[in-house]
């Protein structure tokens, strides 16, 4: 439950009769919503429920259907007009953050708010001081002159929030945060939530979009749940439980603490080994994975848990790395982790938007990328074979899209994740690596992913799951390696796998 809400009960943002129709699809149907002054108002729903469409209409990216109305402080908001030419006190931080990572925090903020100038030139010293002052409000410890590629996910999110609030010192207005913690490890989420609390204390309002149920109970005063494009409920968070909120989202009884498949598994032969694996944070880890086993990797940031799945999959390490990996079908061959000739294993990456999908490609093109070599003849792609493969995996993974020819970014986040997962499964490599598999995914899609992985493991697939969400590991894994300071500090198996057990190990100081 949110701590000491300061909501006045006075509506700052009002939406009425908001609908949006795409060809063949009604994404929103007569949605009405009020955000009160000084409250954190959560917006929740399954992937495809209409949340992103609503946010894009508010931001001016989409036009609403005729009859929709909106007011901010009783002043009409022109829906479907870009935010810069509408109301200055309606600000947005979108899920992709809208930053240019090759540029510094200083440059990113200046691009939006303008550069400090002296006659005929930029006053770089003043620009740095201005940027540092903007970020100090949020306690950001960042070199404002370094490119954001070197920043952590939470630092980038803070820069995006600072950019959104440039020139706004608080008070009446609404900041829209669309999945701000989707790619943040759970250990960094609290820092972001503290910033949201500070905004609320200043009298600002926040429309907060998230799939993480725990966050809603920590930060939100009220919640509006969308289901199939309509408002299923608007209610005080204090009157809900995790299961009752999940049921509002799904429309039927669900278990927020779901476990998929059997607690035991992986009795097959060893299909993947790693020995002496080292990287920036890894200090020497040995791994063994059996057919049919789902092996979890847990740990705090800096423990090496982010690096291990990429070394196993054959991704190019970021910096020096060492160790060897033995792969499926090569029982005698050991490959150096830095050997570019070694076969790569399919991996579902943590950052779906930047590493998982090609935004300009269709669903079919994204899905078939992993097996193009098997779909060609004499240098030509066999379209019929591609269609058959895409249709098969679209059904098996239950991807919801207008068509497989739709651009992949037109899908909800959960369905984009399913496309990436289907592409990896279509490779039929014998081993699948998952990194943060449910980031930005709703509870219904999450269960579907858990069930799919359990089904594939029962059929003999070996799976490595690295996640900062303990719920992923509890739901899917037969065994979990807990990393601390670059080494394995604990191993949990079967019914011993629990969030409490993992946190207990990580809280002992062994990490």
- Give pLDDT tens digits along the chain (511 positions): 455 445 557 888 999 999 998 776 788 899 999 999 889 999 988 777 888 889 888 888 888 888 888 888 888 887 766 544 445 678 888 877 788 888 888 888 888 767 777 777 887 888 888 888 888 777 777 888 888 888 877 788 888 888 877 766 666 788 898 888 776 766 677 878 888 888 888 888 999 998 778 889 989 999 999 988 899 999 999 988 888 888 888 776 666 667 777 767 667 788 899 999 998 888 999 999 999 999 999 887 778 888 899 999 888 666 788 899 988 766 668 888 888 888 888 898 887 777 888 888 899 888 888 887 777 666 677 788 888 888 998 988 888 888 888 888 888 778 888 899 889 998 888 899 998 888 767 777 788 888 889 999 998 999 999 988 788 888 899 999 999 888 999 999 888 888 778 877 776 444 3
Q: Which CATH superfamily is domain 1-89+169-253 in?
A: P-loop containing nucleotide triphosphate hydrolases (3.40.50.300)
CA 92/CA 161 separation, integer angstroms = 8
In this predicted structure, what is the pLDDT of residue 34? 93
List 324's β-bridge partners, or say none. 275, 336
55-60: Cβ within 8 A, 24+ apart = 55/92, 55/94, 55/176, 55/178, 55/209, 57/18, 57/20, 57/28, 58/15, 58/90, 58/92, 58/176, 59/83, 59/92, 59/94, 59/176, 60/86
Residues with Cβ within 8 Å of residue 103, at least 6 apart in sequence: 111, 147, 148
As a CATH number, domain 257-345+463-511 is 3.40.50.300
Q: Of 337, 329, 333, which is closest to residue 311 (Cα–Cα)?
A: 337
Domain with CATH 3.40.50.300 in the chain: 1-89+169-253, 257-345+463-511
How does DSSP assign 386-421, residue by residue?
HHHHHHHHHHHHT---S-TTSBGGGS-HHHHHHHHH
Other CB atoms closer than 10 Å to residue 112's CB: what's the count? 13
């Amino acid at each position: 439950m949110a701590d000491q809400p300061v909501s006045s009960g006075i509506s700052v943002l009002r939406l009425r009769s908001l609908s949006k129709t795409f060809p063949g699809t009604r994404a929103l149907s007569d949605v009405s919503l009020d955000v009160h002054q000084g409250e954190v108002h959560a917006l929740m729903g399954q992937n495809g429920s209409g949340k992103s469409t609503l946010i894009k209409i508010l931001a001016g990216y989409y036009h609403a259907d005729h009859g929709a109305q909106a007011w901010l402080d009783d002043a009409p908001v022109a829906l479907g007009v870009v935010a810069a030419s509408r109301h200055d006190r309606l600000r947005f931080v979108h899920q992709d953050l809208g930053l240019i990572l090759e540029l510094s925090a200083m440059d990113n903020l200046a691009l939006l708010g303008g550069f400090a100038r002296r006659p005929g030139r930029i006053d770089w010293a003043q620009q740095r001081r201005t940027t540092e002052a903007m970020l100090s409000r949020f306690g950001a410890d960042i070199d404002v002159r370094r490119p954001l590629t070197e920043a952590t996910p939470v630092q980038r999110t803070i820069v995006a929030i600072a950019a959104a609030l440039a020139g706004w010192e608080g008070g009446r207005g609404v900041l829209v945060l669309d999945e701000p913690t989707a790619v943040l490890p759970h250990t960094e989420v609290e820092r972001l939530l503290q910033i949201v609390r500070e905004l609320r204390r200043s009298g600002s309002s926040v429309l907060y979009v998230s799939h993480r149920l725990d966050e809603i109970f920590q930060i939100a005063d009220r919640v509006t749940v969308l289901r199939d494009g309509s408002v299923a409920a608007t209610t005080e968070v204090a009157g809900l439980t995790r299961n009752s909120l999940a049921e509002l989202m799904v429309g039927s009884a669900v278990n927020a603490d779901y476990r998929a498949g059997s607690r035991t598994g992986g009795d097959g032969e060893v299909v993947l080994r790693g020995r002496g694996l080292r990287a920036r944070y890894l200090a020497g880890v040995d791994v063994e994975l059996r057919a049919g086993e789902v092996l979890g990797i847990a740990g705090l940031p800096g423990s090496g848990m982010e690096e291990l799945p990429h070394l196993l999959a054959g991704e190019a390490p970021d910096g020096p790395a060492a160790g060897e990996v033995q792969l499926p079908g090569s029982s005698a061959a050991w490959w150096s982790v830095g050997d570019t000739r070694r076969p790569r294993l399919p991996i579902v990456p943590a950052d779906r938007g930047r590493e998982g999908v090609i935004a300009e490609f269709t669903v079919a093109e994204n899905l078939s990328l992993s097996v193009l070599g098997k779909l060609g003849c004499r240098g030509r792609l066999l379209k019929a074979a591609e269609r058959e493969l895409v249709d098969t995996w679209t059904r098996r993974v239950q991807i919801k899209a207008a068509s497989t020819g739709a651009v992949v970014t037109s899908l909800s986040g959960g369905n984009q994740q399913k496309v990436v997962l289907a592409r990896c499964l279509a490779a039929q490599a014998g081993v699948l690596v998952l990194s943060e598999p449910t980031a930005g995914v709703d509870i219904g899609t999450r269960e579907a992913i858990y069930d799919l992985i359990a089904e594939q493991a029962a059929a003999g697939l070996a799976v490595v799951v690295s996640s900062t969400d303990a719920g992923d590991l509890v739901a899917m894994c037969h065994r979990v390696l807990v990393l601390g300071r670059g080494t394995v500090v604990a191993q949990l198996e079967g019914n011993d796998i629990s969030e409490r057990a993992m946190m207990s190990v990580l809280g002992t100081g062994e990490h």
